[in-house]
């Protein structure tokens, strides 16, 4: 999420746009945190999607097939707000506004549900991983071991986590994990590794954690400058930081706030002391603070102040922001995801990348120490926007479904819903599946894999390789990849050769150099809702 020009301060005099009436979430206030927290977009706490959430009906692994490799692109987990205006800075401004008022108006009180503001204290810092975030990453590491590690490493009975030794007692080669150098990303990697490698729940407790880092190496890619970094690709894609190219989604928020928050702002004003005026910015900050306080201390008195409809509106602003900043709606959307996609292709085809034409740092990808080609799994720790951009670069057109800039409440059946795509601790996992048959029969329901060979898999008889992707547990419809190369199956699996073929023109489609460095003006207005298909051409 990038810098945004300050939102135009609008008071409650702005008229609301009525709902179109097609959808009917409740217009009553809600205190159901389970419902509320699923409408916080990219700042929603992690929750698994149902396996068939993205429309893939047959989610089981076919007979004679097994996962042979897994690539995880793991987002950091719960954090404090950032210093960006439409995120933490707007929240801080509202908190300071309340503090300024209460410190000089000792006899003028907020009343009713806002009574807590009379003694409210803003508790949060900026940007860093919270304790709940560390816990979510730890849980992600454990979940990855349970689903993938056990099978990939043919674990013994009762094995709790990765074992750095082969069954004969000899040491396995060190694994390589990658992270950016940003605090919340690196700390996410550390806590994820604690879960996967299991050093805090060994059979014989070791309070020193002496062997924690001995089983793997970490490649830390700098973030925050202009260096190439596929896990923070906006650093080296300069046009992503320009106005308005890099802020199309942020600017869309301006037009949507009056549509869904005017009634809420009027409602807040009823409980305000004489002389204090709520603006749309303030009300938006109250929704944001609800989410961030819950992700920090697990509760917030701001959360019960809004209706179900207003929470769907809040989420829609975040969907707009990411679709039009990092997805199909931005001319740099593909360029920002193409680097990781190139690295994924290189790992799948076992090739180093010795020269870069994108955000790939070829000093890292040209050698086995930093970029091994023979690991059973790869773990890269990154940001929410990178996941969105990778899906865009790969032309997974299921997600080419622009958020409406006008509908309130928004369509609940839309495809681009950020809380299901990049919640805190979100993860995109690419599975390599080996099968005995070239066209294995799809299996309707999930089957727990108690052992690698349970349903007829034989590593010596699995010549046919397939790709399947999961996004926060949901199986992605690779059949929606543009060009049709992955059509033909109903279970989300795509033949390896077909998947690779489907991505042959992905770099060309990104038009990386011009999208990131070209001197161009956008042909459509910044709040037009135009779908650029993730790129721009001369």
Residue 11 to residues 90, 237, 277, 435, 490, Cα–Cα distance (Å): 15, 37, 8, 61, 51
Q: Kindly state the helix (H) or strand (E) to which residue 428 belongs, with its residue range.
A: strand 427-435
What was the pLDDT predicted at 19?
35
Alpha carbons within 13 A on the beta-carbon side of 494 = 27
Residue 120 to residues 29, 94, 117, 299, Cα–Cα distance (Å): 22, 11, 5, 14
Scan for tokens 């039009």, then name that residue.
324
pTM for this structure? 0.95
Written as tens digits, the pLDDT of the chain (538 aa) is 453 444 434 333 333 333 333 357 899 999 999 999 999 999 999 999 999 999 999 999 999 999 999 999 999 999 999 988 888 999 999 999 999 999 999 899 999 999 999 999 999 999 999 999 999 999 999 999 999 999 999 999 999 999 999 999 999 999 999 999 999 999 999 999 999 999 999 888 989 888 788 899 999 999 999 999 999 999 999 999 899 998 999 999 989 999 999 999 999 999 999 999 999 999 999 999 999 999 999 999 999 999 999 999 999 999 999 999 999 999 999 999 999 999 999 999 999 999 999 999 999 999 999 999 999 999 999 999 999 999 999 999 999 999 999 999 999 999 999 999 999 999 999 999 999 999 999 999 999 999 999 999 999 999 999 999 999 999 999 999 999 999 999 999 999 999 999 999 999 999 999 999 999 999 998 999 999 999 999 8
Q: 436, 239, 448: which is closest to 325 by C-alpha?
A: 239
Q: 64, 82, 485, 22: which is closest to 321 by C-alpha?
A: 82
Return all residues near 151 (Cβ < 8 A) that are at least 6 apart: 66, 67, 449, 451, 452
**pLDDT tens digits for range 160-219:** 999 999 999 999 999 999 999 999 999 999 999 999 999 999 888 989 888 788 899 999
Alpha carbon dihedral 145, 148, 154, 157, in 10-degree steps, equals 50
d(CA 202, CA 442): 38
Task: List the domain boundaries for the chain.
Answer: 24-54+68-426
Return all residues near 528 (Cβ < 8 A) that are at least 6 apart: none
Token representation of residue 63: 């007979």
d(CA 355, CA 348): 18
Residue 535 to residues 17, 247, 387, 405, 448, Cα–Cα distance (Å): 32, 15, 17, 21, 41
C-alpha distance across the termini of the chain, in Å? 27
Query: Which long-range contacts does 27-36 make (Cβ < 8 Å, 24+ apart)?
Result: 27/307, 27/308, 27/309, 28/307, 28/308, 29/304, 29/305, 29/306, 29/307, 30/304, 30/306, 30/307, 30/308, 30/311, 31/303, 31/304, 33/294, 33/303, 35/308, 35/311, 36/290, 36/303, 36/306, 36/311
Return all residues near 313 (Cβ < 8 A) that are at least 6 apart: 256, 259, 260, 261, 408, 409, 410
d(CA 255, CA 257): 6
Angle between helices 90-104 and 280-297 (to 10 degrees): 100
d(CA 144, CA 70): 9
Beta strand pairing call for 377-382 and 474-475: unpaired
> For the domain bounded by 24-54+68-426, which CATH number is listed?
3.40.50.1240
């Amino acid at each position: 999420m990038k810098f945004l020009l300050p939102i135009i301060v609008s008071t409650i005099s702005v008229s609301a746009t009525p709902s179109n009436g097609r959808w009917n979430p409740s217009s009553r206030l809600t205190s159901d945190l389970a419902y509320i927290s699923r409408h916080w977009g990219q700042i929603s706490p992690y929750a698994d999607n149902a396996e068939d959430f993205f429309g893939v009906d047959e989610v089981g692994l076919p007979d004679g097939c097994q996962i042979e490799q897994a690539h995880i692109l793991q987002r950091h987990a719960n954090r404090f707000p950032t210093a960006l205006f439409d995120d933490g800075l707007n929240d801080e401004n509202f908190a300071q506004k309340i503090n300024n008022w209460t410190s000089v108006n000792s006899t003028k009180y907020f009343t009713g549900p806002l009574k807590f503001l009379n003694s409210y204290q803003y508790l949060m810092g900026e940007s860093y991983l919270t304790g709940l975030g560390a816990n979510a990453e730890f849980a992600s590491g454990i979940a990855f071991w349970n689903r993938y590690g056990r099978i990939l490493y043919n674990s013994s009975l009762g094995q709790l986590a990765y074992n750095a030794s082969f069954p004969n007692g000899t040491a396995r080669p060190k694994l390589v994990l990658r992270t950016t150098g940003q605090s919340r990303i690196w700390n996410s990697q550390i806590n994820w590794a604690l879960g996967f490698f299991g050093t805090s729940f060994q059979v014989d407790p070791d309070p020193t954690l002496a062997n924690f880092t001995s089983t793997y190496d970490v490649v830390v890619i700098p973030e925050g400058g202009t260096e190439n970094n596929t896990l923070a690709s906006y650093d080296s894609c300069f046009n992503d930081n320009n106005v308005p190219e890099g802020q199309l989604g942020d600017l869309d928020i301006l037009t949507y706030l009056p549509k869904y928050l005017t009634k809420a702002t009027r409602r807040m004003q009823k409980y305000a002391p004489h002389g204090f005026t709520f603006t749309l910015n303030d009300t938006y900050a109250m929704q944001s603070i609800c989410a961030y306080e819950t992700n920090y201390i697990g509760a917030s008195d701001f959360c019960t102040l809004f209706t179900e409809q207003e929470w769907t509106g809040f989420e829609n602003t975040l969907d707009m922001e990411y679709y039009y900043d990092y997805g199909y709606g931005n001319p740099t959307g593909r360029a920002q995801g193409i680097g990781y996609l190139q690295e994924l292709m290189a790992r799948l085809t076992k090739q180093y990348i010795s020269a870069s034409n994108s955000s790939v740092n070829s000093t890292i990808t040209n050698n086995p120490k930093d970029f091994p080609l023979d690991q059973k799994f790869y773990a890269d720790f990154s940001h929410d926007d990178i996941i969105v951009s990778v899906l865009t670069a790969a032309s997974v057109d299921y997600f080419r479904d622009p958020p409406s800039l006008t509908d309130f409440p928004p369509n609940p059946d839309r495809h681009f819903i950020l809380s299901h795509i990049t919640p805190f601790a979100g993860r995109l996992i690419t599975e390599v599946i080996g099968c005995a048959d070239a066209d294995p029969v799809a299996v309707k329901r999930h089957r727990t894999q108690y052992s690698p060979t349970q349903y007829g898999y034989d590593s010596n008889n699995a010549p046919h390789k397939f790709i399947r992707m999961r996004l926060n547990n949901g199986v992605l419809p690779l059949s929606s990849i543009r060009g049709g190369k992955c059509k033909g199956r109903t279970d989300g699996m795509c033949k390896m050769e077909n998947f690779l073929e489907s991505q042959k023109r992905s770099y060309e489609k990104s038009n990386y150099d011009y999208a990131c460095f070209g001197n161009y003006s956008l042909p459509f207005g910044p709040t037009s809702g135009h779908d650029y298909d993730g790129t721009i051409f001369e």
